[in-house]
Amino acid sequence: MPRDVRKFSGLAFMGGPMSVNDDELPWIGPALELVREAVRKDLPMIGHCLGGQLMSKALGGEVGRSRVKEIGWGGVEVADNGVARAWFGSLAAFESFHWHGETFSIPPGATRVLGNAHCENQAFALGKHLGMQCHVEMTEQLIRSWLKGGADEIEKSKSSPGVQSAAKIENKLKDRVAALHKVADRIYDRWTEGLSRGS
């Protein structure tokens, strides 16, 4: 795990099957400190699912079991506040991809910018930093790979109102991914505005 954030223009944290509360994982502690150091140095960060949870915990939030497990496609609403408008413009809602059983609280000083019926906190922003619970980074190939590797988890969790079958997830997959990429492009364009370009 790197320690000197000055070597980077920004930090992007992705998802994973583990929990940020798995203290026995040797990289969790250094990763939490890396997040805090990035905030101190005003280095832009973006987190996806586990990455968003990592950011929340590092910044004083809490991560725990979600009230409703989410796997599949689901609507997300953009919060009605100025911070959300800065990130999402006039967009009021969009369909995102989800795969999580835990979620985060909004850390002190941050603002909730996304939420939905199953998970109140789908994203928060703090200055140049954005932590997300939902997955805007998905591709068709990635979704099909997750469905193959996570088939047992879907079967075990099918009683959850937030979990869809593989067939339902793959329905109109190309169109759904294309629409999601338009939202992702806006998010990433906004985030990259804060990146250091070097000399």
User: Digits of tens for pLDDT over the chain (199 positions)?
Assistant: 887 888 899 999 999 999 999 989 999 999 999 999 999 999 999 999 999 999 999 999 999 999 999 999 999 999 999 999 999 999 999 999 999 999 999 999 999 999 999 999 999 999 999 999 999 999 999 999 999 999 999 999 999 999 999 999 999 999 999 999 999 999 999 999 988 765 4
Residue 146's φ and ψ, nearest 5 degrees, are: -65, -40
| Domains contained in the chain, number | 1
Q: How far apart are the first and last CA of the chain?
A: 25
Answer whether residue 38 is part of any domain: yes
Q: Indicate the burial class of 40 (C-beta count within 10 angstroms; 0-12, 13-18, 19 or more).
A: exposed
Answer whether residue 157 is part of any domain: yes
47-69: b or e for each residue (b if 16 or more CB lie within 10 Å)? bbbbbbbbbbbbbebebeebebb
Answer whether residue 199 is part of any domain: no
| Residues comprising the chain, all counted | 199
CATH number at residue 144: 3.40.50.880
- Host domain of residue 102: 5-192
Answer whether residue 130 is part of any domain: yes
Q: Which helix (H) or strand (E) holds 98?
A: strand 93-104
The pTM for the full model equals 0.95
- Which of 56, 47, 59, 62 lies closest to 135, judged by CA? 47
